[in-house]
Amino acid sequence: MNTEDTDDLEVGLGHHGIGRIVLPFCESFGPFKQVNAWRFGPTDALQLVDCGPPGEAAFAALSEALEGARLARFIASHAHWDHVGQAGRVCQLFDVPLEISGAEWSVFERQFRAFEPDLCAFLSHCGEGRRQSALLQAHTARMKIPGSAPDRVSVLEAATTTELAGLDWDVEVWSGHSVGAFVFACKDAPVVFVGDQLFTGVTPFVGVEITDPLADPLATQFAFLDRIASLPDHVICLPGHGSPFTRASVQAEGQRASLLRRLDRMADTVTSPVSCADLVRGLSPGAEAKRGYIVRLRATLGLLNHLCAIGTLVREDRGAGRGYGFARA
């Protein structure tokens, strides 16, 4: 898709009262330099979906975009730090509750209390029982979102209808990239908000939450891709990063192929019984000291669990706090 196409899509969305607010990342983050917030409806009754990462650069950009606006609603697509980093501030400044799915709120609220026990249990599960305290020290602070919790929260449930920009939208909740992200499918116009479940050119993170290390997020992500692949080509998708796009089925098939390749590579890597942590350290020596180590464990466990679910691998509890091992079935 060229720039002109993208501009045309943004203009078309503008006619529906939908606009993209591009916010900067506070640090370089994988393939993305920016994150989207989306605005729906008129400035005097603005509905905002997402609010960017923590930090003053994103706050300044968001404040500028919202200058003079009265906020009627504030929704978080999911609770990853790059989408809810300003949530406490937005709720306070505009005196609105944060609307979020119940599953995402259970993850988000953990940010504001001690989640060390959850992280300990997760590290043990991965086979890091012995190195737990050093890892806890290295990674706990990195995983916390700075700032205060939203002071009011309202849970928005799946299978309901909600109004954005004067249009009716079906509320869907999908897990895969996170535990319960919103997808909003417009009933009155060919537009679907997909958030971080689907991008162009990049395969989103798919992995387990630290509180649910036995989950199979790839199964739900594949189900989501089936659902998206059924969208007509002209439907405009609103992503959490990057420009809006059409031809969702092409993106969905690209993501499915990429996830299947990752599964194949992981299946080939497991030749003898191994823990999740040993796999990650084997593939990337020194990974445990790096910032993204917990995220890599979560993604790897997602692949391993799915390979168990489809019968390629078996998982066994090695006992005595040594976590789980994975082996060929």
> Interface residues with Zn ion (CB under 5 A)?
82, 196, 240
In the three-class reduction of DSSP (H, G, I as helix; E, B as strand; rest coil), residue 307 is classed as helix
| Cα–Cα separations (whole angstroms), residue 2 to 5, 245, 253 | 5, 10, 20
Q: What is the DSSP letter of 245?
A: B
Catalogue the E-assigned strands of 102-256: 153-155, 161-164, 167-174, 181-186, 191-195, 236-239
Q: For Zn ion, which is the closer residue by CB, 167 or 179?
A: 179
- Compute how many other C-beta atoms are within 10 angstroms of the C-beta atom of residue 61: 18
Q: For Zn ion, which is the closer residue by CB, 196 or 212?
A: 196
Q: For Zn ion, which is the closer residue by CB, 53 or 150?
A: 53
Q: For the chain, give the number of residues.
A: 329
Q: For Zn ion, which is the closer residue by CB, 135 or 206?
A: 206
Task: Give the shortest CB-209-to-Zn ion separation in angstroms.
Answer: 15
d(C-alpha 77, C-alpha 80), whole Å: 9
Task: Give the shortest CB-126-to-Zn ion separation in angstroms.
Answer: 24
| Cα–Cα separations (whole angstroms), residue 210 to 114, 117, 157, 174, 213 | 14, 10, 23, 18, 6
Task: Give the shortest CB-199-to-Zn ion separation in angstroms.
Answer: 9
Q: For Zn ion, which is the closer residue by CB, 51 or 231?
A: 51
Q: For Zn ion, which is the closer residue by CB, 88 or 242?
A: 242
Task: Give the shortest CB-280-to-Zn ion separation in angstroms.
Answer: 22
Cβ proximity of 139 and 294 under 8 Å? yes
Q: For Zn ion, which is the closer residue by CB, 9 or 23?
A: 23
Which helix (H) or strand (E) covers residue 269, if one does?
helix 248-269
Residue with tokens 């928005």: 156
Task: Give the shortest CB-43-to-Zn ion separation in angstroms.
Answer: 26
- Amino acid code (one letter) for 307: L
Task: Give the shortest CB-17-to-Zn ion separation in angstroms.
Answer: 24
Task: Give the shortest CB-196-to-Zn ion separation in angstroms.
Answer: 4
Cβ proximity of 195 and 182 under 8 Å? yes
Identify which of 155, 150, 118, 148 has the alpha carbon closest to the alpha carbon of residue 136.
118
